[in-house]
Amino acid sequence: MVLVVRQDCEQCRKLLEKHFADPHAHRPNERTAVFVAGATSWPFMLDKIAIESSSNTSITWLGEEPFVASPAIFLIENGRVVKASDGEDADGFLEELMSATP
């Protein structure tokens, strides 16, 4: 599961507080990644979901950063996005994912 959040996004903060009070929580047998958008360089962390990045690892976009409606959630299986949601629909989508068995 991949999440894209922004530090200035109140909805992102609420979503992470609700579903990831434990920043190391994840679905069984699944890796997680969170990218913190909002600049041309996006810090990211693996297997720790937090809006404040403690990682020195980031991706840097050449030119402008891409637009992503925050929060965005992507479920990836075998290297392919199989489900995704963003913006206002993200909370219900994550609720469904976290309650389902992968």
pLDDT tens per residue across span 38-64? 999 999 999 999 998 777 899 999 988
Beta bridge partners, 87, equal none
Query: What integer pLDDT is reported at residue 46 of this predicted model?
Result: 92
| DSSP helix/strand/coil, 89 | helix
- What's the rounded Cα separation, in Å, for the pair 101 and 54? 29
Q: Give the gyration radius of the chain's Cα atoms.
A: 13
Let me know: does 56 contact 32? Beta carbons within 8 Å.
Answer: no
Residues of the chain below pLDDT 50: none
> pLDDT averaged over the chain?
90
Query: What integer pLDDT is reported at residue 101 of this predicted model?
Result: 57
Query: What integer pLDDT is reported at residue 2 of this predicted model?
Result: 95
Query: What integer pLDDT is reported at residue 99 of this predicted model?
Result: 83
- What's the rounded Cα separation, in Å, for the pair 94 and 74? 10
What tokens does 40 get?
A: 């041309």
